[in-house]
Amino acid sequence: MSNTITARIDVTKIDKARLYKGQKGTYLDIVLIPTPNSKYDQTHMIVESVSKEEREQGIKGAIIGNATEIIKRDQRQPKDEPPAQMERPGFKYDDEDDVPF
């Protein structure tokens, strides 16, 4: 099973010159770039796709939004388990002890 990615874009930031007519509508190519160190809950930023020639010239696509990968519970990494109680040789813990603390 795959995870779901939810996304939000600011359509006012879209460069209209990057829109193109397709067979069934008008399209914009985008790229989702992982952002593992994001201060927010977003896991990806969404940028407009650029051509190979533009990339070679150092042109980067405008950031137009962000996305969040929703990881299903059964696929999450298990959290570190708390350390096991250390046993000291010759020491026996007694629940019935009269110590007040």
- DSSP assignment string, 1-50: -PPEEEEEE-GGG--GGG-EE-SSSEE--EEEEE-TT-SSS--EEEEE--
User: In the prediction, which pLDDT does 101 show?
Assistant: 40
Q: Which helix (H) or strand (E) holds 53?
A: helix 52-56
Give the global pTM: 0.65
CA distance 12 to 38: 23
Lowest mean pLDDT among 2-6, 7-11, 78-82: 78-82
For residue range 37-84, list pLDDT tens digits in order.
888 888 999 999 999 999 999 999 999 999 999 877 665 555 555 555
Q: How many other β-carbons are positioned within 10 Å of the β-carbon of residue 52?
A: 7
